[in-house]
Amino acid sequence: MAKVLIVDDSVFMRTVIRDMLQKDPTLEIVGTASNGVEAMEKISILKPDLVTLDIEMPKMNGLDVLRELKNAAWHPKTLILSSLTSKGAEMTTDAIRLGADDFMLKPKDIPQLRLVADELIATIHHLTTAPLTPPSREEVSRDQSKGKSAEQVVLIGSSAGGPPMLDVLLSKLPGDLPAGFVITQHMPIGFTAPLAARFNHIGHMPVKETENGDMLKTGTVLVSKAGVHTMISAAMTPDGKRTGRIIHSNAPMVHGVRPAVDKTFESAAQVFGKNTVAVILSGMGNDAGAGASAIKQAGGTCIICDQKDCLVYGMARSAIQKNAVDKVLPLAKIPDEVERIVMQIAEDSHV
């Protein structure tokens, strides 16, 4: 049973979070705190496995709690619960740099509570049961400097429930694969930068938020910037081979989201054709189906995660409905399959 301490200066949020977590009998709420000073005292006494941590609080804010925890005798996992504001996004990025293990957005209205509850519980289980060993900063920096123009691409699409699954994929994929990686995760504006920063501490490949004009490099992961569509256009390597370049588009939302997975998938299929690998994880709605179909028609490969490992199965189901799925795999088996396909493409291209 995982012990959880809830830290938030709002009585309402402490009550809401407690009510959400109490639905899971494997989680024990050992206490609550209304500010950072009280939180540090209770962490020392109660020794929780995980702390849900608000950032803006009186006496001592969440960022100062993270600083204090660096020298504390007890080191719980920390899950930041951030407000949906530009200031919240900036402070979340700071929290990740200070060592926070993950972040989630607070529900903005009552109808969101049920989905947020399921995602919160899943995230807590992930953080408390699946410890990840981050690579050294030297290893990541070295891999980044060795990146070559990518001649194949791995695209990953996800939404609700996606970040913990992305943790698993990135932690298991080797850092020297001869492909570029693009993750399109539905998130509010401002929050894909802290997401990329967190992933950069987990995997063996360097991770960054997309910028307009980024070239796809082998062994490098790009996270689609929230608020714009991430399109991939054709570019040429110095030796005349085709690669891809990131183009940000302000085109209207697709499926009510921007970035849309479909936009990234469809544009990549036109550039990389049979050298395109798509992975669809947890997510609601129909985003990904049309893109997966485009990849399939171009000769590429589409993998979806088994439903039992997904919080929501809408995105994966949309690809099934388009008859665009090559394999359905448990999450734990996807990294090896991606590696196998990428290496096979590389081998075939040199025949």
- Active site (catalytic) residues: 159, 186, 287
User: What is the helix (H) or strand (E) element at residue 342, kind and residue range?
Assistant: helix 334-349
Q: Strands (DSSP E) along the chain, which ranges?
A: 2-7, 27-33, 50-53, 77-82, 102-105, 153-158, 180-185, 207-209, 220-223, 229-236, 242-249, 276-280, 301-305, 327-329
In terms of Cα–Cα distance, which of 63, 54, 62 is closest to 105? 54
In terms of Cα–Cα distance, which of 234, 235, 205 is closest to 221? 205
Q: Is the peptide bond before 259 cis (omega within 30 degrees of 0)?
A: yes
Distance set, CA 303 to CA 257, 289, 326, 329, 341 (Å): 22, 12, 6, 7, 11
CA pair distance 286, 268, nearest whole angstrom: 19
In terms of Cα–Cα distance, which of 262, 237, 251, 234 is closest to 322? 262
Helix, strand, or coil (residue 101): coil
Residues 6+ apart with CB under 8 A from 77: 49, 50, 51, 101, 102, 127, 128
In terms of Cα–Cα distance, which of 181, 346, 184, 183 is closest to 274? 346
